[in-house]
Amino acid sequence: MAATETRKDVVLDVKDLRTYFRTRWGEVKAVDGVTFDLRKGETLGIVGESGCGKSVTMLSLMRLIPMPPGRIVDGSISLDGEDLLQLSEDEMSKVRGSKIGLIIQDPMTSLNPVFSIGNQVTEAIRIHQDIPRHSVMERALDVLRKVNIPAAETRVRDYPHQMSGGMRQRVVGAIGISCQPMVLIADEPTTSLDVTIQAQYLKLLKDLQQDSDLSLIFITHDFGIVAKMCDRVAVMYAGKIVEMGSVRDIFNNPSHPYTEALLASVPKMEEDVDRLYAIEGQPPTLHNLPPGCSFAARCPYVMDKCREQYPPEFNVAEAHHSACWRLE
């Protein structure tokens, strides 16, 4: 019964998602068989080095992969029971912003410099919300107040260049939640913020989530943010999820060598070391992946089997699984 009830709470169910890019060097398997789900009101963290497929996975969920050279070759993305990969582009345009929102890490690449803030916040509301025209700006002001934009009545007439980085990031967040989506994807939204503003922004996202029972996907390199924000964590490497579990399980019992290495790379204030830990080597090129485990060349526990065959997922504990032959 408990398992059935948990499945009823699932708002996003991704199965065997594969997104490839055609390049002059060959086919790049940027997302290669990714499977995960997201429950109502839950925050899922996705971590990994740059180039591991985190952002491409999220762009695939939004159906924003540039085609060509990219294409979603296989899998399913079920949002509230509806497979997004089966929708036409017109149908998908009605889902983006209304049911699933996106906060991009650099607000200056997502805010148009020639339109006012008010114009950009009201755009999604006008498209997706069936409310009277005279109420659109009032809804936009309400959303801006929710993200703590001071003097919102005045700032709606400003342009992006007239705002600080922290204010622009809040505006992008306001656009993301303006139509009250079921799922909000935050792609490293604190990268351009200083530490003080970062803490305020994270608290803001947490408050918004609690107010609306929002489901949140948080992409980050920062394990401190993961510990503060997330319920579960997916660790990605070379286009695959290599380990997934609760925050407690991942921090206390990392079961994949890559997860161990990532956690070891986080500096510890209580330790006095001459040299910080770094993962040796480089991630493999995705157009020429080696046979077997993609992490084998950098793994301190590598066995012959690791170089020959990619490991299946092994259950470490309830809702905690890892793709590593050491768990066989």
What is Dmax (Cα atoms) for the chain? 68
Bridge-based pairing of strands 314-317 and 82-83 is unpaired
pLDDT at residue 265 above 50?
A: yes
Confidence at residue 124, expressed as pLDDT on a 0 to 100 scale: 86
Which of 236, 184, 197 has its CA nearest to residue 29?
236
Tell me the C-alpha distance between 24 and 322, whole Å: 33
Helix (H, G, I), strand (E, B) or coil at 292: coil
Tell me the C-alpha distance between 112 and 171, whole Å: 12
- Quote the DSSP letter at residue 88: -
Instruction: Tokens 């380990």: give the residue.
Output: 243
pLDDT at residue 170 above 90?
A: no
Lowest mean pLDDT among 44-48, 77-81, 194-198: 194-198
pLDDT at residue 214 above 80?
A: yes
Measured CA angle at 188 (ends 48, 129), to 5 deg: 130
pTM, full prediction: 0.89
For the chain, the domains span 2-91+219-268+276-327
41 burial type by CB count under 10 A (0-12 exposed, 13-18 middle, 19+ buried):
middle
pLDDT-derived band at 27, boundaries 50, 70, 90: very high
Which of 268, 249, 250, 267 has its CA nearest to residue 259?
250
- Quote the DSSP letter at residue 96: B
Q: Please, what's the b/e burial string for 165-203 (b: 16 or more CB within 10 A of its CB; e: otherwise)?
A: ebbbbbbbbbbbbbbebbbbbbbbbbebbeeebbeebbe
Tell me the C-alpha distance between 256 and 320, whole Å: 11
Confidence at residue 215, expressed as pLDDT on a 0 to 100 scale: 93
Q: What's the topology of domain 2-91+219-268+276-327?
A: Rossmann fold (3.40.50)
pLDDT at residue 307 above 90?
A: yes
Helix (H, G, I), strand (E, B) or coil at 326: helix
Which of 89, 98, 37, 36 has its CA nearest to residue 65?
89
Confidence at residue 192, expressed as pLDDT on a 0 to 100 scale: 66
Does 4 or 49 have the greater pLDDT score? Answer: 49
Which of 250, 109, 244 has its CA nearest to residue 189?
109
Average pLDDT in the chain: 89
Which of 19, 39, 7 has its CA nearest to residue 217?
39
C-beta of residue 143 within 8 angstroms of C-beta of residue 178: yes
Determine the straight-line distance between the first and last CA of the chain, rounded to whole angstroms.
Answer: 30
Task: Give mean pLDDT, residues 16-23.
Answer: 95
Confidence at residue 77, expressed as pLDDT on a 0 to 100 scale: 96
Task: Give mean pLDDT, residues 10-38.
Answer: 94
Residues belonging to the chain: 328
**In the numeric block, which tokens belong to residue 190?**
């604190």
Confidence at residue 238, expressed as pLDDT on a 0 to 100 scale: 93
